[in-house]
Amino acid sequence: MPPPLPANAPATTGPPRRLIVLLAVSCGLTVANLYYAQPLLSELRKTFGIDAVTAGSLVTVTQLGYALGLLLIVPLGDMVEKRRLATLLLCLTTGAVVLAGLAPDFPVLLIASLIAGTTLVVTQILVPFAADLAPDESRGRVVGQVMSGLLTGILLSRTFGSMLADATSWRVVYLTSAVLMAVLTVVLRSQLPRRAPGKAAAALSYGQLLRSTARLMKRFPALRRRALYQAAMFGAFSVFWTTVSFLLTSDPFNYRQWQVGLFALAGAGGALVAPLAGRWADRGLVRPMTAVAFAVAAGAFALAGFGRHSVLALGGAAVLLDMAVQTTLILGQHVVYRLDGGARARLNSAYMATFFVGGAIGSQAGSYAYHAGGWTPTTLLGAALPLAALAAWLTDRPPASTPPTPDLARREHVPR
């Protein structure tokens, strides 16, 4: 086996196509575990005899676990050899998903989901891994391709989970995923190249590593901006997908579980924008396309609100919302990964943790809004979040500067 590549080794030709595909598929299969529960909430209410707000807490707890993992585990990607860290996390994920599938009551399911959410941050080890391997001029494209797999996994997880649960039970969804995670662990262990951590990060203690992650938020205004933008967008995303299953399983639709799963396919069309967003980033269109995405997301909720009795309108809203959220995510990653090439895992940790907290808040707030007033206040809440992000964008005045260079480790400002 060849010696591991150093973390800051310059990428010249980029990763081979087969490795990009493997990373994309791995991210998709892994992150799907975060979202299987969303279309199954009605089934879980029946199984455990709980109300909508309590059922929605499952999504919230899973996302909070993910945020916890982003804060406490992902920074290790700058300190520990990435292939070893990824396979360890996948082993833990497999055990947590088995526990979820066998959960005898709702509290056990919550605990299993919290553990799984924490270890599922392996996806955020793999995405910076792809960025490390890509040359500067094509990093946006490579990250976009890997993210298209991750985002497809998010969207198709709802369809897969709904249809499999309708044919069998929700428990089979989790147990099937556990088998997939076990297989994926073996494949990644054998196929991923080793990549040694940077010497500076490897010399840090764990406490120093976490403190250095917090200092990155203070050091880079662009990181703070992009993290808060994405927190608002992912909050809106969670408001929609946490509550739409309640709408579709009630009057006038009264859909069965498999029909809810088919509806979730509508959102999968949004994954097509991921490679395009990467190219927009490479072309220097980060700032204008960010504003467009905010406007599209708000418009998606307007369409969902006025078209609440039309599945076509709801499906169109799902596509528009998912396209907007994916666009801002990839544009944000493009900005964040260029800030410091030796600290990409920690930058990603701060960025992703912030926006997953936004997603967790959105899930719970959406459940409360739907429980209190139905679909109309839910869509108003969802639209308010991207509009707030757009208002913040209008106050952002990046300093005039020359085009960014590949080495931005010492710079505080990049196009936002």
- Per-residue pLDDT tens over the stretch 367-409: 999 989 999 999 999 999 999 999 999 998 764 443 443 444 3
Up-side HSE of residue 126: CA atoms within 13 Å toward CB?
34
**How many degrees, rounded to 5, is the angle at CA 397 between CA 393 and CA 399?**
145
Query: Which of the pair, 132 or 12, is modelled with greater confidence?
Result: 132
Instruction: Assess whether pLDDT exceeds 90 at residue 106.
Output: yes
CA dihedral (58, 62, 67, 68) positive or negative: positive
Burial class (CB in 10 A: 0-12, 13-18, 19+), 235: buried
Domains of the chain and any CATH numbers: 17-394 (1.20.1250.20)
What pLDDT sits at residue 51?
86
Instruction: Assess whether pLDDT exceeds 70 at residue 3.
Output: no
Taking only the tens place, the pLDDT of each residue in 289-346 is 999 999 999 999 999 999 999 999 999 999 999 999 989 998 998 899 889 887 888 8
Residue 234 Cα distances to 63, 92, 382, angstroms: 11, 26, 10
Instruction: Assess whether pLDDT exceeds 80 at residue 109.
Output: yes
Instruction: Assess whether pLDDT exceeds 60 at residue 60.
Output: yes
CA distance 37 to 43: 9
- What is the average pLDDT across 152-157? 78
* Eight-state DSSP code of residue 7: T
Share of residues in the chain with pLDDT > 70 (%): 90
Up-side HSE of residue 327: CA atoms within 13 Å toward CB?
25
Give the confidence band of 249 by pLDDT, cuts at 50, 70, 90. confident
What pLDDT sits at residue 201?
66
The helix or strand, by DSSP H or E, that contains position 197, with its residue range, turns out to be none
Q: 42 near 246, Cβ under 8 Å?
A: yes
Give the confidence band of 273 by pLDDT, cuts at 50, 70, 90. confident
What pLDDT sits at residue 85?
92
First vs last C-alpha separation in the chain: 41
Instruction: Assess whether pLDDT exceeds 80 at residue 13.
Output: no
Strand partners, 195: 5
What pLDDT sits at residue 413?
43
CA dihedral (58, 324, 161, 122) positive or negative: negative
Mean pLDDT across the chain, nearest whole number? 85
Instruction: Assess whether pLDDT exceeds 60 at residue 1.
Output: no
Taking only the tens place, the pLDDT of each residue in 115-140 is 999 999 998 888 888 888 878 777 77
Tell me the pTM: 0.74
What pLDDT sits at residue 325?
93
In single-letter form, the type of residue at position 279 comes to: R
Cα 305 to chain centroid, rounded = 25
State which of 71-80, 154-163, 177-186, 204-213 shows the largest mean pLDDT.
177-186
State which of 19-23, 153-157, 359-363, 377-381 shows the largest mean pLDDT.
377-381
What pLDDT sits at residue 282?
87
The pair of structure tokens assigned to 290 is: 């960010």
Q: Minimal CA–CA distance to 73: which of 210, 208, 226, 203?
A: 210
What pLDDT sits at residue 404?
43
Taking only the tens place, the pLDDT of each residue in 40-58 is 888 898 899 998 788 888 9
Share of residues in the chain with pLDDT > 90 (%): 46
What pLDDT sits at residue 64?
85
What pLDDT sits at residue 200?
66
Instruction: Assess whether pLDDT exceeds 80 at residue 71.
Output: yes
What pLDDT sits at residue 285?
94
Q: Minimal CA–CA distance to 271: which of 386, 359, 150?
A: 150
- Buried-exposed string 369-398: b where 16+ CB fall within 10 A, e elsewhere: bbbeeebebbbebbbbbbbbbbeebeeeee
Instruction: Assess whether pLDDT exceeds 70 at residue 29.
Output: yes
